[in-house]
Each structure stands twice: as structure tokens, then as C-alpha cells.
Amino acid sequence: MNIAESSSNEQVIRHLSPSSASTFRQCPRRWKFRYIDHLPDPKGVPALLGTFVHRILEELMLLSASERTNQFARNIAREIWPEIADDPDFKALLLDDEGTRAFRWQAWNLMESYFEMEDPQQVDVLAAEQRLEVDLMGVPFLGIVDRTERIENGLRVTDFKTGKAPQNRYLDDKLSQVWLYAAALKAVDQPVSEVRLMYLTGKFIDRKLDDAAVENAVNRHFLTWKSIGNCISDSRFDYKLGPLCNWCPYTDSCPQGLAEAERRYGPRF
């Protein structure tokens, strides 16, 4: 998401990514705090683990097939580590030496799981961390595709996930991201035939191209875009209360969210 101010001081949305759209659907007020008010949104351990592992995988996928080995991945991890260690969000975790070692072991355990799930030397990589900026139904879409690969019947989009695989009731929401990637790739003349969510905790979720699912994802993205525009125009961003209020980084700036968190989990102080 990229927000800028026009000469009339009106907020204008330049791009809408799957992650920013998801944040808005979860809670419009949280979206406002992050993307308009620019309040800090520090990453926790899970997000930083994801960043570290994705960086390793990105560099690994850019190597020639014969070089995509466990040892090369270890070398990449060592080379990338200073970037993570110097990240202000990582420093904010205030991990001691033992905590830092545990963090690095968690990341490498995910990489070990990755090598158990597939042999990267057998993957025909077309692109890694491909940036896409396209128009989808009038919405300026922005997305970063983890990997596009050639397969027997065409192209497959693979999105790496470092968290737990979702329960079935949440699966459609997770798949909507790769359906959007499929739509964006088609817009740049790279139509895909399959999509894959690869949970490095040990699960593949594969789907053949589903035109109806792609259309639904694009329509939902459009409706989110439209809702954001209405909120900006009305200068009103409603809140959504629920268990996530307790983990929202902006709870202290949201009286309703703070009250909900304390109702569910007790006083915070």
C-alpha cells in the first residue's frame, strides 16, 4: 500500500496489495493507523522468521539448479543474517544470546523442512520474488510473487508460508492471495495453470486454475478498494472487535479495542 497526498490534501491510494487489503478487511481502523497515520507496526518473531526464511529461499531460487543444495542454503543464511540482526524490529525483540540462537534454529528448522518437502534442484524456476504492478478491474494491484515455476502443463505460482496451515474454514481466504497472483500474471502474459501454498511446517495446498475462484478474488479486491475509498472520503474508519484486539499493535490508540482485549483477557497492566 502506498498513500500520498494530492495538492488538495486529499488522501489518494496508489496501490492495493493482498496484505493491505486483508488488514482492511480485518479492521478498517487498524488499516488507518498503519497506512494513513503511519503509526509503528513492529514485527514480532513469526513475521521476522518469515522474512529471514523468505530471503534464504529467494537467493536459493536464483541459483542454478545444481547449486540449490542444503550447504548453499546454509551459506546464504550466514550471509543474510547480518541484515536480520541489524533490523530495528529484530533489535526491538531484545533477545539475549540464547534467544537469538533459538530464533536462528527455528529459521533453519523451517529450511530443513523445506528440503524434506521438495528437491529444489528439480524445480524449473521462471522467477523469484517477482514484483507485479498491474490493473485488476480498475484497481492498481501490487504484489510480490514468491516463485513462478514451469511445470508439465504450464506455469505454477508458489507462495511460501512459514506459519501453520489454516483450518478448512480459513482456506479460501488464504487461497485468495494466490488467485490474485494468477490474475496479475495473466495480465502480464504469464497465465498460470496451477497455484500452490507451500507451508514449510509440512503441507502443500495445491489447486488447478479455477477461473471462478480467480474472478471472486479479483471482485473481492475491487470491493475492498471501493470500501477504502469510501472510508477515506467519509473520514470514518470503523473498528472490528474480536480476539485479535489483544495482539493489535494499536490497541492503546483504540479505546474500543483496549476494552475488548481487557474484557477477554483481563487488565493489560
On whether both 108 and 139 belong to a single domain, the answer is: no
Residue 136 is assigned to a structural domain of this protein: yes
Task: Give the model confidence (pLDDT) of 70-87 as tens digits.
Answer: 999 999 999 999 999 999
As a whole number, mean pLDDT of residues 104-130 equals 97
At which of 60, 92, 121 does a domain end?
Answer: 121
Q: How far apart are CA 202 and CA 38, in angstroms?
A: 36
On whether both 136 and 205 belong to a single domain, the answer is: yes
On whether both 135 and 210 belong to a single domain, the answer is: yes
On whether both 112 and 145 belong to a single domain, the answer is: no
On whether both 111 and 130 belong to a single domain, the answer is: no
Task: Give the model confidence (pLDDT) of 48-73 as tens digits.
Answer: 999 999 999 999 999 999 999 999 99
Cβ-based neighbours of 153, under 8 Å, separated by 6 or more: 193, 194
Q: What is the CATH number of the domain that holds 172?
A: 3.90.320.10
> By the 8 A CB rule, do 225 and 246 touch?
no
At which of 78, 101, 121 does a domain end?
Answer: 121
5 DSSP β-pair partners: 11
On whether both 196 and 149 belong to a single domain, the answer is: yes
Residue 147 is assigned to a structural domain of this protein: yes
The pTM assigned to this predicted structure is: 0.91
On whether both 203 and 248 belong to a single domain, the answer is: no
Provide the residue type at 52 as one letter. Answer: F
Lookup: cell for 122: 528439480
> By the 8 A CB rule, do 150 and 124 touch?
yes
Strands (E), 61-121: none
On whether both 191 and 117 belong to a single domain, the answer is: no
Q: Residue 243 CB: number of other CB atoms within 10 A?
A: 10
On whether both 140 and 91 belong to a single domain, the answer is: no
What's the confidence (pLDDT) of residue 170? Answer: 86
Q: Residue 131 CB: number of other CB atoms within 10 A?
A: 9
Domain that holds residue 258: 240-269
- Kindly tell me the sign of the dihedral angle through the C-alpha atoms of 81, 85, 87, 89: positive
Residue 18 is assigned to a structural domain of this protein: no
What's the confidence (pLDDT) of residue 268? Answer: 66
Residue with cell 480498475: 138
Q: How far apart are CA 7 and CA 20, in angstroms?
A: 25
Q: How far apart are CA 262 and CA 197, in angstroms?
A: 35
pLDDT over 70, % of the chain: 95
DSSP per position, 6-49: -TT--EEEEEB-HHHHHHHHH-HHHHHHHHTS-------HHHHH
Residue 245 is assigned to a structural domain of this protein: yes
Q: How far apart are CA 5 and CA 95, in angstroms?
A: 38
Residue 221 is assigned to a structural domain of this protein: no
Phi, psi of 60 (to 5 degrees): -65, -45
On whether both 183 and 253 belong to a single domain, the answer is: no
Residue with cell 490474475: 183
With a cut of 90, say whether residue 142 has pLDDT above it: yes
Residue 267 is assigned to a structural domain of this protein: yes
Residue 263 is assigned to a structural domain of this protein: yes
Task: Give the model confidence (pLDDT) of 32-44 as tens digits.
Answer: 999 999 998 888 9
The domain total for the chain is: 3
Residue 266 is assigned to a structural domain of this protein: yes
On whether both 115 and 151 belong to a single domain, the answer is: no
On whether both 144 and 166 belong to a single domain, the answer is: yes
